[in-house]
Chain A
Amino acid sequence: MLKLRVASYGVLVDIGRVRELRYLRYGDVVEVGALVRHYELEESPCGFLRGVAVRIGDPQVRSLGTVGGSLAHADPFGDWPAAMLALGAVVKAAGPNGAREIAIDDFFKGPYQTALERGELVAGLEFRCPPRGAYVKFARRHNDFALAAVAVAAEVKEGHVSWARVAALGAADRPVRLRKVEALLSGAPLTADVITSAAEAAAKEAQPPADFRASAEYRRALLSVAVKRALARL
């Protein structure tokens, strides 16, 4: 943002060396410190995280970018925001009034806008690694922002979806859950017919923005295909 002269600040505080924000713990709950860099999740034991990390930018971006930074920045086409929404993560925030937890469903307030208050920062995230998950992203080229992307976290038992959280980029002015798609999947068998219906439901539910990268209609079509491919990968 500084580089592009979009923002300028009188004082800049580098939190890059705050060790307390750089932890990564895999237990029943996965705990990711805000300063964990994208590349550190490329070989994560949690398959869903691996699938997201390798689709972020390019190696240079993954060397510097952090998970917490991605969340706090809340780019409408950020990969981690979609992933964390699908995971149902809890955002651990810290500020002058102490620490608090923010449910990811309440975190994104608009493009580049979050529930963080003045002086607060993202300290880390907590979530469970989903039994099944997939991340499908369409971009013009390898290291570009997504045109549209779909993140799915789910549990499938005996061919039936016990639960699914489906998050999308390019379906609104911020990352959003596709709740109609989730409802359709809940309890349903993961058959070709169900997947086709889910893809159609995604196209109906999405309200894609149009910009220089893609038209709303193109994004709608991509979202439909992304849902189909993500479900086929579960």
Chain B
Amino acid sequence: MKIALRVNGVLHEVDVEPRKLLVHVLRELGYKSVRVGCDTATCGACTVLMDGRPVQSCNVLAVQADGAEIYTADYSDEVMERLRGAFKRHHAAQCGFCTSGMLTTAYYLVRRGVKSEEEVVEGLSGVLCRCTGYQNIINAVKEVAGL
């Protein structure tokens, strides 16, 4: 099936098999920051923003995303750059595998105006960090959210 995806502002028209997951199509388009983690919709490493909402791209068929606006961790604007800076300063990446999912989810949280540490923790609960480096990630998000 022919679908259209706008990824980080760039329009892609691709022919995909209906069985294909969004995560695989994005990676084949060159967006390698989108991680295949658990492939069972548990870990959240594949999180991207689809029309402004965080979704696990391993849990969406590419055909379901037809016409969608997608942001990956490569997306760049002022909020994302501030998040990257804060992640560096707070040492919020250890092995780095979950970082893409953490950044996209954090971007959503900051944009929607997360109001407390509790909301940050709940908001990030869909992305697992197997290094268990959560506190530094939470601190980085709090800094950018002005908490």
Bound complex: CA A20 to CA B132 (Å): 44
- Is B41 among interface residues, defined by CB-CB distance under 8 A? yes
Asked if A16 and B123 sit within 8 Å, CB to CB, the answer is no
A19 at the interface (CB under 8 A from B): no
Residue of chain A at shortest CB distance from B121: A142
Contact check, A3 vs B121: say whether CB atoms are below 8 A apart.
no
* Interface-centre pick from A3, A59, A142 (highest chain B CB count, 10 A): A59
Which residues of A sit under 8 angstroms from B50, Cβ to Cβ? Answer: 63
> Are B40 and A3 in touch, CB under 8 angstroms?
yes
Q: Are B47 and A60 in contact (CB under 8 A)?
A: yes
Query: Range of interface residues on chain A?
Result: 10 to 19
Interface residues of A in 1-42 (CB under 8 A from B): 3-4, 12, 14, 16, 39
Q: From residue 39 to 83 of chain B, which have CB atoms closer than 8 A to chain A?
A: 40-41, 44, 47, 50, 53-56, 58-61, 63-64
Interface positions of A from 47 to 74, Cβ below 8 Å from B: 57-61, 63-64
Chain B residues lying within 8 Å of A118, measured Cβ to Cβ, are none
Q: A39-B53, A59-B54, A59-B108 are in contact. Are A64 and B60 (CB under 8 A)?
A: yes
> Taking A3-B40, A39-B53 as contacts, is the C-beta distance between A60 and B126 under 8 angstroms?
yes
**Contact present for B55 and A58 (CB under 8 Å):** no
Residue of A nearest to B67 (CB): A17
Which single member of B40, B61, B122 contacts A58 (CB below 8 Å)? B122
What are 7 A-B residue pairs whose CB atoms fall within 8 Å in the complex? A3-B41, A3-B59, A16-B64, A60-B44, A60-B59, A63-B54, A64-B59
Q: A3-B58, A142-B122 are in contact. List 4 more A-B contacts (CB 8 A).
A: A3-B59, A64-B56, A64-B60, A143-B125
